[in-house]
Structure 1
Amino acid sequence: MNSVDLISISHQALWLTFFVTFILGAIMKRTSFCTMGAITDWLLISDLSRIRQWALAIGIAMIGVMLLSSLGFIDTSKTIYTNSKLMYVSILVGSLCFGFGMVLASGCGSKTLIRIGGGNLKSLVVFMVLGLVAYMTLRGFLAVLRVNTLDTIALNLSTPQDLPSMLSMHLGASRALIHILLGGFLGCALILSALINKSFWTFNNLLAGFGVGLVICLVWWISGYLAFVSEDPNTLEEVFLVTNSGKMESLSFVSPYAYTLDWLMFYSDVSKTLSIGIVAVFGLIFGSATYALLTKSFRWESFTTAEDTANHLVGAALMGFGGVTALGCTIGQGISGVSTLALGSFLALPGFVLGAFLALRYLEYRMAPSPCA
């Protein structure tokens, strides 16, 4: 394989990623798929519709990843989520920060991109602050603090931290068989929990759950199969092309913010190249914008008060720090990571929910009338 082949494969992977995330952006705009919205609907008005969308998406992603893995298309042990080092403190602290921040900032990383496409200028500010803080947490002074404090507390496992690998060692059974059984069981259970309520059977709900889950699987396939080269002619080692981590990736929307700002600011530097994460950021924005324009739902929106501005700035900073520290956002850890059955991803889920709950209580406190009024 020569360098022209590598370039061609990279271009195919990037264009296909843009296409599927463009479609995803339109789907998320139409259906209002939003993790923060799902949690707030559940906690404030006991409406489980968007929680079921989320559960359906995770279930579809689990089944899809299980099938891709069992058929030999991808290897789930080669992701950042299944690392043998379980940084449980970083994941818990990071997910709490991210959950709190996404409520203050009116949405998680993916929702921010959808809102930008719909004309929300507040979300554009969130994008820039989140990306800046994420970059600082990846490579700046916050990275030094993170690495020397939270990341030092970890469990070094003898296997990758995905449940099939861990159970395989203890049960003496085939990892592939356990993945089929466990992934199939958990995935079907989540799908059933979403579909068991007939009131959930609306076009938008089904489109959201199936659409998000299938796109997560498609991006796993793109990065783990289409853009995977078993022997790079330059290094004679295996390589995952067009990923920032150098490993197989699916969708996540925190670190890609940082890489997108980096690419835009240093575009003339030939070492700054597009990745699946960067292209996915643009795909979601343009997909949402196209849908908003076609349906005439595009609306300019800006900050209303100084406190509104402060909430979004603080929320964006918390998401930037928390998302990098937790190794992903509510899409990254919450769906992409969980679809690999990674233990750390299951730890992040309650952190996101608890962080959102605390933020909602904080906002309720701020809006409560003064006793002296």
Structure 2
Amino acid sequence: MNNLDIANLSHYALLATFFVTVLLGAVMQRTSFCTMGAISDFLVMSDLTRVRQWALAIGVAIIGVFILSSLSLIDTGKTIYTSSRLLYLSIIVGSICFSFGMVLASGCGSKTLIRIGGGNLKSVVVFFVLGLSAYMTLRGFLAVFRANFLDSVFIVLNTNQDLPSIFAAQFGVDRGLMHLFIALAIGGLCVLFALLKKSFWTFDNLLAGLMVGFAICSIWWISGYIAHVAEDPNTLEEVFLATNSGKMESLSFVSPYAYTLDWLMMYSDTSKVLTIGIVAVAGMISGSAIYALASNTFRWETFANTEDTANHLVGAALMGFGGITALGCTIGQGLSGISTLALGSFIAMPGFVLGAYLALRYLQYRLAPNPCN
């Protein structure tokens, strides 16, 4: 394989990513698929509809990744989520910070992109602040705190941290067989939970869950198969093209914000190239905008008052810090990571719920009438 072939593979991967995320952006704009919405609907109104959307997406993603892995189309051991080093403190702190900020900023990273496509100017501000905070946590002064304090607390496992590898080593069974059992058990339960409620069976609910799960699997396949080169002619090493981490990637919407800002600001630097994460950001906004304009739901929206502005600024900063520290957002850890059955992703999920709960309680406190007045 020569350099021209490698360049073509990168282009194919980027085009495929853009196509998938344009579809995903349109679907999420139509169906209001949202992590914050799912948690708040349940905690405030005891409504599980959007939680079931999430469960369906998780189930489809887990089973889909198992199928791709069993067909040797991807290797889930080559992702940032499944390394043997379990950064449990970073994941706990980061997930709580991210979801607390998510509530203050009116949505997670993916929802921010959807809202931008729908004309929300508040989300444009969130985009830039989140991206800046994420970049500082990746490589700036916040990275020093993250690396020296949070990331210094970890456990090194004897295997990769995905559940099939852990249990296969523990019980001395074949990893592929264990992957099948766990994927069907967890993925199947998620799908069953979503579909048991007959009222959930609407076109939009099914579309949301199935499309999000399909998109997660599709990007894994794009980065892990189309963009995979077993031996780079220049380095003679395995490489995953068009990824910022150098590993197989799926959807996540925190670090791609930082890399998008970096690419835009340093565009004339030829070393700054488009990646799957950057293209996914553009695809989500484009898909959302296309649907919003076509359905006549595009509306300009801005901040209501000073407190609204402050909430969004603080929330965006917390999401940037938390998403990088936790190795992913509610899409990154909550769907992409979970689909690999990574232990760290299962640790992150309660953190996301706890942070959102605390933020909702804070907002309720702020809205409560002051008895002294």
Name the % identity.
71
Quick one: distance in 1 between partners of 2:372 and 2:222? 60
Partner of 1:287: 287
Aligned residue number for residue 179 of structure 1:
179
Other structure's SS at 2:77 match:
coil
> How many residues matched?
373
**Distance in 1 between residues matched to 2:2 and 2:158, nearest whole Å:** 37
How do residues 31-46 of structure 1 correspond to structure 2 at under 5 angstroms?
31-46=31-46
| Distance in 2 (alpha carbons) for counterparts of 1:365 and 1:97 | 19
- Aligned pairs for 1:52-131 within 5 A: 52-131=52-131
Deviations 1:187-218 (A, max 9, x none): 11100000000000000000000000001000
Matched, 1:325 2:325: yes
Task: Specify the code of the residue in structure 2 equivalent to 1:195.
Answer: L
Residue of structure 1 equivalent to 2:209: 209
What TM-score does the superposition give when structure 1 sets the normalisation length? 1.00
Matched, 1:334 2:370: no
SS at match of 2:345: helix
**Within 1, Cα distance between the matches of 2:283 and 2:371?**
48
User: Which residue is 1:152 aligned to?
Assistant: 152
| Partner-residue secondary structure (3-state), 2:151 | helix
Measured in 2, the distance between the counterparts of 1:45 and 1:75 equals: 41
> How far apart, in 1, do the equivalents of 2:187 and 2:71 lie?
17
Structure 2 counterpart of 1:233, which letter?
P
> 206-215 or 182-191, which moves further after superposition?
182-191
Does 2:366 align with 1:366? Answer: yes
Q: Which residue of 2 aligns with 1:22?
A: 22
Letter in 2 for 1:63: I
Secondary structure in 2 aligned to 1:152?
coil
* 1:254 has 2:254 as partner: yes
Report the Cα distance in structure 1 between the residues aligned to 2:280 and 2:297, rounded to whole angstroms. Answer: 22
Q: SS at the partner of 1:95?
A: helix
Tell me how far apart the structure 2 counterparts of residues 45 and 190 of structure 1 sit (CA, whole Å): 21
TM-fit CA distance, 1:111: 0.1
Residue by residue over 1:40-60, the C-alpha shift from the partner in whole angstroms, topping out at 9 and shown as x without a partner, is: 000000000000000000000
1:158 is displaced (CA, Å) by 1.2
Looking at structure 2, the residues matched to 320 and 259 of structure 1 have their Cα atoms a distance apart, in angstroms, of: 12
Q: Give, in angstroms, the shift of residue 184 of structure 1.
A: 1.5
Partner amino acid for 1:49? Answer: T
Q: What residue identity is the alignment partner of 2:321?
A: F
Letter in 2 for 1:13: A
User: What is the deviation of 1:372?
Assistant: 1.5
User: Are 1:306 and 2:306 matched, yes or no?
Assistant: yes
> Is it true that 1:200 corresponds to 2:200 in the alignment?
yes
